[in-house]
Structure 1
Amino acid sequence: MKTILALGAAVLLTFTAPSFAADQQTELINQAQSAATAWIALTDAGKYGESWERAGTFFKTGIPKNTWETGIRSLRTPLGSVKNRELKSTEYATSLPGAPDGEYVVIQYETQFENKKSAVETVTPMREKDGSWKVSGYFIR
């Protein structure tokens, strides 16, 4: 009888472990998405200096604040204001090209700007050493 119970417990653990891992990953994605949403709101509002300040360590070591402010202003100003932004995809990753190993969530949005009908924005939060999520990359194509 003990063998059957032990076997049943082992089978139960086998089936519940992947679900737990998936739930944990979903929670991490949700945390990263919240950080990305708050950060991109600053960028949408033209608060480029503040968006740099609230970005992650990897972002800030990769681009000086004044370079970020000048570059993002020259990129975003011609596009005009955001008319619509819809989540296209999220992907949890521990390794990305050109970036140190860590925890990332690559978030893509289908975005319509005032002067550009269709764009894809990619916002990539990275989990910091303190456990918080902060943006480590931003691209528009």
Structure 2
Amino acid sequence: MKLFAVVLLSAALLSGCDVSFNKSTPKVTASDPGTQLQQQQIFDAALAFLVLLDAGKADMTWSVVSPTFQAKIPEPVWVNGLKALRIGLGSFNKREPLGFGFTDQMPDAPAGHYAVIEFASTFATTAVKEKVILRDDDERWGVVGYFVHKSITFGGDDKKAP
């Protein structure tokens, strides 16, 4: 019952936040692959953020969040949302980048230069796709969104619905 209350409270707190679990990722066309230097910069920024999450340090991620995003959401909502996303995943095992993209158009966001990076990640209990959205804040890439997409398969591959 306590876990249910925590999940319910977390869902209420997340309703205005760009942190999600199985929620639709914003429809972003980030087809510009960017330069190799830009790709390395966003990879490093996303990995710094994810390493903190993997270590159970969601409260320390606020320092890598974009100032633009910090102005939109209170720190406790961000931190609690991240903690809620990790419930049930278990400990981190491995992560592989799936792709990069850059865009100047992000739905419901201020004008700016954004990057999207997606990872195939494996945790103790499941495999997921993680998507990190970053914003170029002139001096650094800051996190503005984090999405976890978990697929659940029931039964074996050979079973078909009636």
Structure 1 and Structure 2 fold alike (TM over 0.5): yes
Residue type of the alignment partner of 1:51: T
Which structure 2 residue ranges, 5 or more long, are not aligned? 1-31, 150-162
Instruction: Indicate conservation of the 8 Å contact 2:117/2:133, yes or no.
Output: yes
- State TM-score, norm by structure 1: 0.75
Question: Helix, strand or coil: the match of 1:46?
Answer: coil
| Aligned counterpart for 1:133 among listed residues 134, 137, 141 | 141
Q: Is 1:120 matched with 2:112?
A: no
Give the structure with the larger helix fraction. Answer: 1
Following superposition, the deviation at residue 101 of structure 1 comes to 2.1
Q: Percent identity?
A: 32
Aligned to 1:79: 89
Following superposition, the deviation at residue 30 of structure 1 comes to 1.4
Aligned to 1:102: 112
Following superposition, the deviation at residue 109 of structure 1 comes to 0.3
| Aligned counterpart for 2:98 among listed residues 66, 88, 95 | 88
Flag the structure with more relative contact order, 1 or 2, with Cα contacts below 8 A and sequence separation at least 6.
2
Aligned to 1:45: 55
Evaluate the alpha carbon distance shift between residue 89 and residue 23 of structure 1 in structure 2; reply closer, same or farther with a 3 A threshold.
Answer: closer
Which structure 1 residue ranges, 5 or more long, are not aligned? 1-21
Question: Helix, strand or coil: the match of 1:83?
Answer: strand
- State TM-score, norm by structure 2: 0.66
Aligned to 2:15: none
Following superposition, the deviation at residue 136 of structure 1 comes to 1.3
Aligned to 2:67: 57
- Aligned residue pair count: 118
Residue type of the alignment partner of 1:76: R
Instruction: Indicate conservation of the 8 Å contact 1:29/1:92, yes or no.
Output: no
Following superposition, the deviation at residue 23 of structure 1 comes to 9.8
The CA deviation string for residues 54-96 of structure 1, in whole angstroms up to 9 with x for no partner, is 2111332232111122221122031111112110110111111
Coordinate RMSD, CA, aligned: 1.9
